[in-house]
A and B are shown apart, each in its own frame.
Chain A
């Protein structure tokens, strides 16, 4: 026992000594109250690409604006979220942000309790109807990013067809859930592809998990083997699909960051929401005693890479050489408003997909579409989202009525396979 004791004392001594050299180590709770303090609540931790995207942006924005960051990872979508938000407010945070959809109600509860602290939430829907001064929603017009990524994929597909005419024009998409965020995402991606390759079709499959490496793998394998998909993209958070694509040498468009390091042969391009501009916006408003936008929709930046909607550099091996140049052209049109992703003339809706809230003309082009924008339990289609721009072009306005996506049309050319039956 004596020997054990000696060891323990040694460890303690070593640890204390080491600690002395390290007195500068940050302690979130004891920071001075003169500087701003901001809290981030994430569902998982940095091992999830989704949460890592928030964590990295938050840290960077805090560093840039001199704000003290307080980060709580692994907060489930329940009482725990409220508790952590309230605790952050207790401990002097001026701003608390939560990254998961299910956090919203619990953040609102905290917002009501702490009127002097600003609360914000990614992908939420309630701020614009709630009218609570200190509660905000934020998202980005990520469908534009996906559209651009789709253009890059289209260029690649065209190159593949030129090199080998028998190449399948079908592409695949591994989605998480059949929710608006995902539907809006894959539809814009598909429209991007089709802006280059007119006859392209797409097969979509859902894993019904945000993060499930095995399911994402098997889904990608299924798409490649059984649906002859020439290119795969995904809206799910693991490395499942990119890994499968790399092994099968199928070009892959990723989400939330480049996979070039691990998948150099097949990585095409990736789109993501860059949260840094939003956090900077919030910190600036806090510092200037201004107001944070209630429903913030981040947009493309001055380049492809610095906006709230951002791309990563196209893959050196897989992407077509002039991709960047082409994308800059398209992005310029999107910024100028001369090109709309959901231009009603660019797609058709037919058959059962023409639901009661949709009207189409003889060719199948949408003339009216009421989307579910305002949150309510019955999910009523409450807001007309088909608009005309100054040139008379009709398009579906996504992410303008509220930040979170609401486009849910099932357009022609996309086949959704029912996973439950297939498994």
Chain B
């Protein structure tokens, strides 16, 4: 009998097995379970940090989102905006173009719209004319901001993630330059613009945004599912070689898709300018360009699944801010961010368990045991 090969001795206590057999409802249950586990962990952390009663945490989480008519509208509007940015991102993502520049594209749309409001308002244009100018300007500005990295990607094969990321900073810089140019004294804050406000539907400030995003949702669904463009970008995303093989102009597809992605981000910026903030700061995009990446990924780039993920994020954010933090007098935002992070972590981590099963290596069959027996 040859002696044991001594070169390799370490033995892992478990191994991973890929799952292929999970049904959609099982996966959904896993994900819901992750949310529940995340919320429980959140309660535990809040209990440790601010001595918060878990039941009160839950009730405040809910009341923070739905405690009044206004809060409910605010939650749904926030959800709509996140969904909107997510919808803007998925055509690019499905093409495997990792557009991390949502923030910049939103900001450019926002800036273009605010510039219309500022200059045309000063020139005394009527409201409807300003709005008519704002819409194409914002959409075009966002589209340009999306197209620039797309062109570099398509023709010079630059890394789109880094490129779009850097474009965010340039956009923020442009906003600062604009503010510096038009606000010469005071604290550098642009006053709320009076001209170019969008109409509120029946006196409701929130409905317009929600309806527009609903329309975007329908558009994106149809675009991705039924249009030739949507089909092409999916082919490009899967394999550029396949795209070339069937004669798709890959460069044009990349540029066109990013123009759409940027244009929709610009639309979000337009809504921020004309229907919500009426002013702009370098932080106006409120990092939605990044948050929406999570909305999109968690939903596996499915427009309707994003309804769920955007709601979840809006719920956690608003529930935490207006509900829990206020109720327990938490004045340190880090606490809110930590506990929301814990929930996100659980939601993301569960994907691992949906894809893999952890199996223990049978200790009873361990060779060392048998070797001992053999030795006797």
Contact = CB atoms under 8 A, between A and B. Distances in A.
Direct contact between A and B judged by beta carbons closer than 8 A: yes
Interface of A: 4, 8, 11-12, 14-16, 18-20, 22-23, 25-29, 42, 44-47, 55, 69-74, 76-80, 83-84, 86-87, 90-91, 101-102, 104-106, 108-109, 123, 125, 177, 179-181, 372, 375, 377, 379, 408
Interface string B137-175: 000000000000000000000000000000000000000
B325 A181 contact: no
Contacts of A15: 40, 43-44, 47, 54
B364 interface: no
B39 to A, nearest CB: 10
Contact of A102 (B54, B281, B322, B333): B281
Given A28-B329, A71-B331, A87-B70, A77 B281 contact: yes
Interface string B20-61: 000000000000000011001101100100011111100010
Given A12-B54, A77-B281, A78-B276, A72 B321 contact: yes
A83 B317 CA distance: 14
Interface in B51-90: 51-56, 60, 63, 67-68, 70-71, 74
B105 interface: no
B359 to A, nearest CB: 14
B333 A45 contact: yes
A73 B185 contact: no
B370 interface: no
A69 B53 contact: no
Nearest to A69: B329
B257 interface: no
B253 interface: no
B251 to A, nearest CB: 38
Given A8-B37, A102-B281, A83 B74 contact: yes
A78 B53 contact: no
A87 B68 contact: yes
Contacts of B56: 19, 25, 27
B5 interface: no
A200 B43 CA distance: 57
A73 B60 CA distance: 16
Contacts of B284: 76, 78
B281 A73 contact: no
B322 A72 contact: yes
B349 interface: no
A101 B189 contact: yes
Contacts of B68: 87, 90-91
A129 B63 CA distance: 38
Interface in B242-293: 272, 276-279, 281, 283-284, 286
B328 interface: yes
A47 B333 contact: yes
A45 B47 CA distance: 20
Contacts of B19: none
Given A25-B51, A79-B276, A86-B70, A45 B334 contact: yes
A33 to B, nearest CB: 15
Interface string B296-340: 000000000000000000000000011001111111111010000
Contacts of B47: 15, 18-19
B187 interface: yes
Given A18-B47, A78-B277, A84-B322, A125 B332 contact: no
Contacts of A22: 51-53
Contact of A177 (B187, B329, B336): B187
B375 interface: no
Contact of B55 (A19, A80, A123, A125): A19
Contacts of B191: 105, 375, 377
B370 to A, nearest CB: 29
Nearest to A9: B40
A109 B205 CA distance: 13
Given A47-B334, A105-B191, A181-B187, 8 more contacts: A12-B40, A12-B54, A73-B330, A78-B277, A101-B186, A102-B187, A375-B191, A379-B184
A179 B186 contact: yes
13 contacts: A18-B51, A19-B47, A19-B52, A19-B55, A25-B56, A29-B63, A47-B333, A47-B334, A74-B333, A79-B272, A104-B189, A105-B192, A123-B187
B286 A46 contact: no
Contacts of B341: none
Contacts of B40: 8, 11-12, 15
Contacts of B53: 18-20, 22-23, 25
Contacts of A86: 70
B188 interface: yes
Given A72-B322, A90-B68, A25 B185 contact: no
Nearest to B48: A18
Given A8-B37, A28-B327, A78-B281, A46 B332 contact: yes
B222 interface: no
Contacts of B278: 79, 105
B88 to A, nearest CB: 20
Contacts of A70: 326
B327 A29 contact: yes
Interface in B175-204: 184-189, 191-192
B122 interface: yes
Contact of A179 (B188, B321, B325): B188
Contacts of A72: 321-322, 325-326
